[in-house]
């Protein structure tokens, strides 16, 4: 039937409380006349009414949908970002985990989410992504992408990874380390944050390079132009490493491999329900203490 509206639902189904939240979300949207499509592998864990469309996944899974609705933690939201980027659709995240920086709503906001989706009452913002290339002996052997970060890490616990870092075709430093994280502003509150990198506001266009546990006098986090090309070369006489993109996709890096990271051509689109400043999101997500703040003095 023409004019029918469909959203694609991606859900974390590993916890009982999450299952109940997802089922409530589905019933609310169906009652409002919004069709639901989800992966068949997730549908088997849910008590869903008839009429919910299931698909096996793969290319084109979200064709014809207007929105990717994601209910879960950070890992589920990154999984949703893959589908959102593939189809150019906005992603609306509902946090059923702990931090959920990509999420726009919390578990208690389900009724509001249903109402705003029904009314298509949300704004869409674009987030930078990374294009990632792996070269060995000058040949491209792997091509990937990331929303948060591409991390070059040691593959074994026993020995450090020896690398040389590079920015815009010029060497910066070599050192032994546990890894190097190349991140977007969106990823500055993820793995790069754990490595001591700066928090970068999402509207700032930049690339980050953050060494992890580096044995070097100079191994500071770097913030570069969004047009820069970052590179990390695995030294020839070192154990192999591994490249992780958003902690979801990995490929082995043999000694001598080179990883190049640049701004991605295809952004991820996020649906936003609120205009709250990123500062407020940062304080809320990390439970930062702000007692004693008095605000700017009134000069009128």
pLDDT in tens, 76-112: 999 999 999 999 999 999 988 777 788 898 888 899 9
CA distance 209 to 294: 35
Q: List the catalytic residues.
A: 74
pLDDT exceeds cutoff 50 at 218: yes
Mean pLDDT taken over the chain: 91
The count of other CB atoms within 10 Å of the CB of residue 44 is: 10
Q: How far apart are CA 15 and CA 26, in angstroms?
A: 17
pLDDT digit string (tens) for 196-214? 999 999 999 999 999 999 9
Residues 267 and 300: their CA atoms lie apart, in Å, by: 43
- The span from the CA of 267 to the CA of 288, in Å, is 30
Strands (E), the chain: 6-11, 35-39, 53-55, 67-72, 90-95, 105-106, 123-127, 130-136, 139-146, 149-154, 161-167, 170-177, 179-183, 207-212, 222-224, 230-234, 241-245, 249-253, 258-263, 268-272
122 marked ligand binding residue: no
Q: Which of 6-10, 89-93, 272-276, 290-294 has the lowest mean pLDDT?
A: 272-276
> Of 151-155, 237-241, 242-246, 254-258, where does mean pLDDT reach its minimum?
237-241
Tokens of 247: 């902690």
Structure tokens at 92: 């609306």
144 labeled binding residue: no
> Which residues are 166's β-sheet partners?
171, 231
Q: Any known ligand binding at 156?
A: no
pLDDT over 60 at 300, yes or no: no
Segment 259-271 shows an average pLDDT of: 97
Question: 51: buried, middle or exposed (CB in 10 Å: 19+, 13-18, 0-12)?
Answer: exposed
Beta bridge partners of 67: 7
Nearest to 85 by CA among 49, 126, 54: 126
The reply, when asked if residue 37 is annotated as ligand binding, is: no
255 is in an annotated binding site: no
pLDDT score for 156:
83
Q: Is 186 annotated as a binding residue?
A: no
Q: Would you say residue 141 has pLDDT above 80? A: yes
Q: Report whether 190 belongs to an annotated binding site.
A: yes
pLDDT given for residue 12 in this prediction: 82
pLDDT of amino acid 1: 41
Whether residue 74 is annotated as binding a ligand: the answer is: yes
- C-alpha 85/C-alpha 83 separation (Å) is 5
Q: Tell me how far apart the alpha carbons of residues 6 and 9 are, in angstroms, rounded to a whole number.
A: 10
Residue 220 — pLDDT band, cuts 50, 70, 90? Answer: very high
* Residue 190 to residues 27, 69, 184, 245, Cα–Cα distance (Å): 33, 21, 10, 12
Average pLDDT over residues 274-285: 89
Residue 63 counted as an annotated binding residue: no
pLDDT at position 299 is: 57
| 73/95 Cα distance (integer angstroms) | 6
Question: For residue 298, what pLDDT band results from cuts at 50, 70 and 90?
Answer: low
Determine the average pLDDT of the residues in 27-43: 90
Mean pLDDT of 166-180: 96
């Amino acid at each position: 039937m023409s004019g029918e509206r469909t959203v694609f639902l991606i859900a974390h189904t590993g916890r009982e409380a999450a299952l109940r939240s997802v089922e409530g979300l589905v019933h609310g949207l169906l009652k409002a006349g919004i069709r639901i499509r989800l992966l068949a592998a997730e549908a088997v864990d849910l008590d869903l009414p008839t009429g919910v469309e299931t698909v096996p996944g793969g290319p084109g899974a979200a064709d014809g949908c207007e929105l990717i609705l994601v209910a879960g933690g950070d890992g589920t939201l990154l999984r949703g970002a893959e589908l959102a980027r593939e189809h150019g659709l906005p992603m609306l995240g509902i946090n059923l985990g702990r931090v959920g920086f990509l999420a726009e709503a919390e578990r208690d906001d389900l009724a509001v989410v249903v109402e705003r989706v029904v009314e298509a009452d949300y704004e869409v913002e674009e987030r930078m992504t990374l294009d990632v290339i792996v070269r060995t002996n000058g040949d491209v052997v792997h091509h990937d992408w990331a929303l948060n970060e591409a991390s070059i890490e040691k593959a074994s616990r026993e020995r450090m990874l020896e690398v040389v870092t590079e920015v815009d075709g010029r060497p910066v430093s070599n050192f032994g380390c546990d890894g190097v994280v190349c991140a977007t502003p969106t990823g500055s509150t993820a793995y790069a944050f754990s490595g001591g990198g700066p928090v970068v506001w999402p509207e700032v266009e930049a690339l980050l390079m953050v060494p992890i546990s580096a044995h070097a006098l100079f191994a500071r986090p770097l913030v570069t132009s969004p047009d820069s090309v970052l590179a990390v070369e695995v030294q020839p006489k070192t154990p192999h490493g591994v490249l992780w993109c958003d902690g979801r996709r990995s490929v082995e890096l043999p000694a001598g491999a080179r990883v190049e990271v640049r701004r991605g051509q295809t952004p991820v689109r996020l649906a936003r329900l609120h205009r709250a400043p990123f500062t407020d999101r940062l304080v809320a997500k990390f439970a930062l203490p702000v007692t004693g703040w008095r605000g700017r003095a009134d000069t009128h």
